[in-house]
Amino acid sequence: MSQEGFEKYGAGASPGATMLVDSTLVYSRPTCRCIEIPATQEAKQTLGRDIVANIVMLGALVAATHVVSDAALEKAILDSVPKGTEALNQKAMKLGLALGAI
């Protein structure tokens, strides 16, 4: 979700990998399969809070890879976010699920 993170962890991804990048913040692209998700831009424009871009990206990851169920993701998010932010984080998750559906 950052150019620095991509350079440190993503630039050397194996050709068979799948990588999601925040197209708002990451300008390089890997040689592996790359799914561009404008997580920060969408969090800011659609939800009015760029702080939930990470939750948008988690939703996109689950939609693109099916690594866990949507219900498991929602439970994990609701178990970990600060009280009073549950509705915002649920909206961010749903936005990410929609953006990551391929």
Is the pLDDT confidence value at 102 over 90?
A: no
Q: What is the pLDDT of residues 30-62, one digit of tens each?
A: 999 999 999 999 999 999 999 999 999 999 999
Domain tally, the chain: 1
Q: What is the pLDDT of residues 6-30, one digit of tens each?
A: 999 999 999 999 999 999 999 999 9
CATH number of the CATH domain containing 16: 3.40.920.10
Q: What is the span of the domain harbouring residue 39?
A: 3-100
For the range 20-23, what are the long-range contacts, defined as Cβ-Cβ under 8 Å and sequence gap of 24 or more?
Answer: 20/57, 20/60, 20/61, 20/64, 20/100, 22/53, 22/57
